[in-house]
Amino acid sequence: MIERHLAISSVVSLPKTELDALLAGLRHNGYQTVGPCLKDEGLVYAGIESLADLPRGVISEQAAGKFRLVQTGQERYFDIIPGGQSWKQFLFPPRLTLFTAQKDGRWRIAPDGEPAPRYALIGVRACELAAIEIQDRAFMREDYADPIYRARRRNLFIVAVNCLHPAGTCFCVSLGSGPRAERGYDLCLTELDDAFLVEIGSELGRSLMTELACEPASAYLQNAANQGLEQAVKQMGRHLDTSDLPQLLAGNLDAERWEQVGKRCLSCANCTLVCPTCFCWDATDHTDLLGKVTRRERVWDSFFNPAFSYFAGGNTRPAIRSRYRQWLTHKLGAWKEQYGTLGCVGCGRCITWCPAGIDLTEEIAALREEVEA
Ligand code: SF4
Ligand code: SF4
């Protein structure tokens, strides 16, 4: 009976136990279901089969250079703010074989023939949806689209989750990328005490929901979800003034603040590896001892790695100060001109996972203060 009422943009309530049926439905449609799981006192994105695999009753406390899991004892599955991993690993894997070459009289090249996997990502936050949208602009340009990324992207099913408990390092509100998921999902959940509120975002999402025991969402539940999101906006841990970032950064390349942050930064590249929008990579060849078989791999890289900036016999960014400056001036400045948007979605990962506790919101505020002094 519910089927007649379901449409794209319908909002329904779903008993929490029905999430198992949704996951089973996705697997029946050929998807690998991937979601947040606890592992080694951290949070990773890995294969899940049921509610039992999700981190029930756990939140993460996050600050600059700090991540800690805390048990709440509550019956919530998506309260935890993600850790160092992001979904980019499923679209732009950290290590991927591009082709293999074999010498058999002459070299024969065999491209990687693996079909693109079909992932259903469960629990994608609004900021993470925005990050996927940003990577789409980089990898699926009109003039050239990365075939590996495009094939994986076309196979993706996204179950988003509205964020009700931001962490201390979050600032998605400043970037307009959260905490409410506005677009880019097949289904979007808001987790309330007794049920999920589900917004339908695609035809496949609609068709899967018709198989589940969902009901039209009551005004009471919708109101509770809206109030939770309003509260989340007020709880944002950090703020970033984005009003004039490209000009501020491009106009102050010699500021003293770059020297100061250059002395603290370890050039470890953590910030770029955890960032859901960063896309630097390198191609490396692995050849067997006889020199007859070689495999070319694409691996994540970072301009914090000194070798990344080595051109024509010299390093264009020998000082850590210049590498850190490149990170901010690209992400919060030049990116806007290249892709029409800033390269940051305010997820806070680079702050949480920086071993030196460097916080880009503090760096921008300090730069602004120096310029205005
Ligand atoms: S720069 Fe930092 S806060 Fe912004 S998207 Fe990347 S990891 Fe998240
Ligand atoms: S800013 Fe922090 S995470 Fe990034 S390279 Fe420097 S020390 Fe590492």
Kindly state whether residue 293 falls inside one of the protein's structural domains: no
Residues 189 and 316 in one domain: no
Residues 137 and 274 in one domain: no
Helix, strand, coil share of the chain (percent; to 5): 35, 25, 40
Residues 230 and 276 in one domain: no
Q: Report which of residues 104 and 295 the model is more confident about.
A: 295
Kindly state whether residue 107 falls inside one of the protein's structural domains: no
User: End of a domain among 209, 234, 259?
Assistant: 234
C-alpha 324: how far from chain center: 21
Q: How confident is the model at residue 60 (pLDDT cuts 50, 70, 90)?
A: very high
pLDDT in tens, 177-198: 999 999 999 999 999 998 999 9
Q: Residue 2 pLDDT > 80, yes or no? A: no
Predicted pLDDT at 84: 94
Kindly state whether residue 83 falls inside one of the protein's structural domains: yes
Residues 325 and 361 in one domain: yes
Predicted pLDDT at 1: 45
Q: Is 184 left (phi over 0), alpha (psi -120 to 50) or beta?
A: left
User: End of a domain among 196, 213, 234?
Assistant: 234
Peptide bond into 179 cis (omega under 30): yes
Kindly state whether residue 105 falls inside one of the protein's structural domains: no
Pairing of strands 42-47, 58-63: unpaired
Residue nearest to atom 5 of ligand 1 (CA): 344
Burial (Cβ within 10 Å: 0-12, 13-18, ≥19) of residue 290 = exposed
267 Cβ below 6 A of ligand 2: yes
Q: What percent of the chain has pLDDT over 90?
A: 86
Predicted pLDDT at 308: 87
The Cα–Cα gap between 308 and 296 comes to: 18
CA–CA distances in Å: residue 63 to residues 44, 68, 69, 123: 18, 9, 12, 22
Q: Residue 115 pLDDT > 80, yes or no? A: yes
Kindly state whether residue 167 falls inside one of the protein's structural domains: yes
Residues 83 and 200 in one domain: yes
Residues 198 and 279 in one domain: no
Residues 218 and 284 in one domain: no
pLDDT in tens, 312-362: 878 888 899 999 999 999 999 999 999 999 999 999 999 999 999 999 999
Residues 355 and 266 in one domain: yes
Residues 228 and 271 in one domain: no
Q: What rounded mean pLDDT belongs to the chain?
A: 94
Predicted pLDDT at 40: 87
Q: What percent of the chain has pLDDT over 70?
A: 99
Residues lining ligand 1, Cβ inside 6 A: 274-277, 331, 344-350
| Cβ atoms of residues 135 and 92 within 8 Å | yes
Q: What is the CATH number of the domain that holds 229?
A: 3.40.640
Residues 159 and 17 in one domain: yes
Q: Residue 100 pLDDT > 80, yes or no? A: yes
Q: Give residue 235 CA to ligand 1 midpoint distance, Å.
A: 18
Predicted pLDDT at 4: 54
Kindly state whether residue 69 falls inside one of the protein's structural domains: yes
The Cα–Cα gap between 239 and 346 comes to: 9
Predicted pLDDT at 267: 96
Q: Structural domain tally of the chain?
A: 2
Kindly state whether residue 146 falls inside one of the protein's structural domains: yes
Residues 86 and 224 in one domain: yes
Residues 126 and 223 in one domain: yes
The Cα–Cα gap between 185 and 127 comes to: 12
Predicted pLDDT at 113: 76
Instruction: Give the residue among 99, 75, 36, 131 at the shortest CA–CA distance from 349.
Output: 131
Enter the pTM of the model: 0.94
Kindly state whether residue 102 falls inside one of the protein's structural domains: no
Choice from 240, 341, 349 to test ligand 1 binding pocket (greatest atom count within 8 A of CB): 349
User: What is the span of the domain harbouring residue 28?
Assistant: 10-97+114-234
Predicted pLDDT at 318: 86
